[in-house]
Chains A and B, each alone.
Chain A
Amino acid sequence: MSTMTENRRRSTTEIEESTSAWRKRLTSDGAARVAALLSFFVLWLVVSAVFGRVPGPVEVVVRLVEEFARGEVFGNFASTLYRFGVGVALATVVGIAVGVMMGLSQLSRAFFESPVLVGLSIPAIIWSFLTVMWFGFGNLSPIVTTFLTAVPFVIINVAQGVRGVSRDLRDMSSTYNVPLGRRVKDLVLPAVTGYVATGVRFAMIIGWNGVLLSEWFGGSGGVGYRSRFWYDANRYGGFAAWTVLFVGFIVLLDRFVLDRMIRRAFRWRDNAA
């Protein structure tokens, strides 16, 4: 609390008693959140007033309603989600396999290290250019772009998690000749679930970028395609409407699905601490 530093000669209870009820309510967390939302709204209004090209909230809502009325929303959203889902699922499976290998043996680590680093540094835009050239305007190019941009992040996270598995337990299981299958199932996997979840979350943030980019350049329907349609038509309100729509979706997904998953996966660790 800011009052602490200003009046540090008084005790905390004195300060507590001297602050009035309305002031307490005004500085509560909930009030802060409401204030943040309000200031964001005011900022948006100011920016759209200063820069004529930026659409204001009213225009965005109108465009959003229009887009729903045209029936463009659900079809495009579904095709984007399908591509994104397949790409991220593939990235997760391959990423876990390679990541576990990299974490378990030094040699496979040496082998995969450079490809993963190169993969990390290639921008999504290049992948989307290339995949559109390779696979044309279909579902395949967004799927492959999502996969290729997301997989290095999963690999790195999983490998880090596997390397963090308790050395003692690993030594013990090799001393007692525990078979590799059981070692992976009972020791490695439980320990890395949290890292996998973090990696998948990161991969999803990156993957959205990939799927949207290749839809933007690919032109076979989807959120990216529709956004580009409005952008090219110089009707930025339509673009902003789509942005609001899928950013809202991403945030809800992140907040209510992934965050819970991660907390569940790290439960064994955080409870102990």
Chain B
Amino acid sequence: MTNQLLEGNAGEVALTRDAGEADARRSARRRQWRQTAFLVAGWIAMILVWELGSWWFGDRILPRPHQVLVEMGEVIRSGNFVPDFTASVLKTFAGFGVAVAVGAPVGYLMGRHRYWQAFFHDGVTVAGTIPAIVYAVLSLIIFGLSNMGPILAVALVSAPYVALNVAEGIRGVDRSLITMSEAFGRTPRQIRREVLIPTIVPFVFAAIRMCFAVAWKVEALTEVFGGRNGVGFQIRTEYQLYDIAGVLAWMFLFIGFMLVIERLVLAKAEARQLAWRPEERSAAL
């Protein structure tokens, strides 16, 4: 905010302090207004490009925005999105559970001991660069058509991020706190429980938020390849019927739903876990 005020009308010379302040406030408001206008212009440009595309390609293979909107309304009205959405979301979170259960101990070892750092480092970085499609197909090969496939895929994609972030967090632990605990004769177990684990909680959350966007895409991708329910399954069904409006409608609904979950559930859970030290929260993100 401050730099906006400073950057305001540099040309005009304010005679008194009050006049200058009113001037700055006015220019700040004008700036705010212009920014909103550009934001709206961004959305309009996006929709225009879309319209142009559907005119160019024909609205059978790129339906126009309002057609997709109508389709979305139909999906919502029919009400059969509820079981699919819950299935997809549950699988995503189950995958996160597995990823944290595996990734956090690995990250803990990596942060604490040099040996384990060298042991896991290559594997974790390589696992982070493998394309998601490999994980999706691999989970299908292992589990076949079942709900376990997407869960495994989400876990495989997210675990490296969790491990790396936790390792980073452990390395950032305040050394003097540990030294003090040792000086006062605390056992290693107490140090782990009271110093180390509370420190890494924000990093686990940061990791989850970082890979949430990747994770639900991988989940849907695995369902497209071989799922029996869930959003990805619906997208594949619509695609096989060449109903592109249906594909886009399901996708936009799912994107919206996931954004809501990210904002409400994850942010709230994080805020509650970290309510006792707000400054850590912003540092880890």
Tell me the A residues contacting B by CB distance below 8 Å: 1-2, 5, 8, 27, 29-30, 32-33, 35-36, 40, 47, 51, 53-54, 106-108, 110-115, 118, 120-126, 129-130, 133-134, 167, 205, 208-209, 212-213, 216, 224, 227, 231, 236, 239, 243, 247, 250-251, 254
Least CB distance from A57 to B in Å reads 15
Given contacts A227-B137, A239-B137, 13 further A-B contacts (CB under 8 A): A2-B112, A33-B119, A106-B4, A106-B31, A107-B38, A114-B43, A121-B255, A122-B255, A125-B221, A126-B251, A209-B132, A239-B141, A251-B126
Least CB distance from A256 to B in Å reads 13
Closest chain A residue to B114 by CB distance?
A1
If A33-B119, A250-B130, A254-B129 touch, does A111 touch B39 (CB 8 Å cutoff)? yes
Chain B, interface size: which category?
Answer: 35 or more
11 A–B contacts, CB within 8 A, in A order: A1-B114, A2-B115, A33-B119, A51-B142, A54-B142, A121-B255, A129-B239, A133-B61, A212-B131, A213-B221, A254-B129
Residues of chain A within 8 A (CB-CB) of B247 are 126, 129
Chief secondary structure at chain A's binding surface: helix
In chain B, positions 115-129 with a C-beta closer than 8 Å to chain A are 115-120, 122-123, 126, 128-129
- In the bound assembly, the distance between CA atoms of A1 and B138 in angstroms comes to 36
Residues B120 and A36 in contact, CB atoms below 8 Å apart: yes
If A36-B120, A125-B221 touch, does A110 touch B255 (CB 8 Å cutoff)? no
Residues of chain B within 8 A (CB-CB) of A54 are 141-142
Closest chain B residue to A251 by CB distance?
B126
Closest chain B residue to A204 by CB distance?
B129
Q: Which 4 A-B pairs have the closest CB atoms?
A: A32-B118, A110-B38, A209-B131, A29-B118
Residues of chain A within 8 A (CB-CB) of B244 are 129-130, 133
Residues of chain A within 8 A (CB-CB) of B34 are 107
Residues B213 and A120 in contact, CB atoms below 8 Å apart: yes
Task: Say whether B209 faces chain A, with CB atoms less than 8 Å apart.
Answer: no
Closest chain A residue to B109 by CB distance?
A2
Task: Say whether B87 faces chain A, with CB atoms less than 8 Å apart.
Answer: no
Residues A111 and B255 in contact, CB atoms below 8 Å apart: no
Task: Say whether B133 faces chain A, with CB atoms less than 8 Å apart.
Answer: yes
Residues A216 and B133 in contact, CB atoms below 8 Å apart: yes
- In the bound assembly, the distance between CA atoms of A205 and B141 in angstroms comes to 23
Residues B46 and A115 in contact, CB atoms below 8 Å apart: yes
- In the bound assembly, the distance between CA atoms of A112 and B114 in angstroms comes to 44
Residues B45 and A134 in contact, CB atoms below 8 Å apart: no
Residues A114 and B35 in contact, CB atoms below 8 Å apart: no
Residues of chain B within 8 A (CB-CB) of A212 are 131, 133
Residues A205 and B131 in contact, CB atoms below 8 Å apart: yes
In chain B, positions 37-70 with a C-beta closer than 8 Å to chain A are 38-39, 41-43, 45-46, 57, 61-62
Closest chain A residue to B258 by CB distance?
A121
Task: Say whether B90 faces chain A, with CB atoms less than 8 Å apart.
Answer: no
Residues of chain B within 8 A (CB-CB) of A209 are 131-133
- In the bound assembly, the distance between CA atoms of A126 and B249 in angstroms comes to 11
Question: Looking at A29, A33, A209, which has the most chain B CB atoms within 10 Å of its CB?
Answer: A209
Residues A107 and B35 in contact, CB atoms below 8 Å apart: yes
Residues of chain B within 8 A (CB-CB) of A32 are 115-119
Least CB distance from B165 to A in Å reads 16
- In the bound assembly, the distance between CA atoms of A236 and B137 in angstroms comes to 10
Closest chain B residue to A167 by CB distance?
B3
If A33-B119, A129-B247 touch, does A123 touch B220 (CB 8 Å cutoff)? yes
Interface mask (B95-111 → A, CB under 8 Å = 1, otherwise 0): 00000000000000000
Residues of chain A within 8 A (CB-CB) of B31 are 106
Residues B41 and A111 in contact, CB atoms below 8 Å apart: yes
- In the bound assembly, the distance between CA atoms of A113 and B221 in angstroms comes to 26
In chain B, positions 187-241 with a C-beta closer than 8 Å to chain A are 188, 213, 217, 220-221, 224, 232, 235, 239
Residues A247 and B220 in contact, CB atoms below 8 Å apart: no
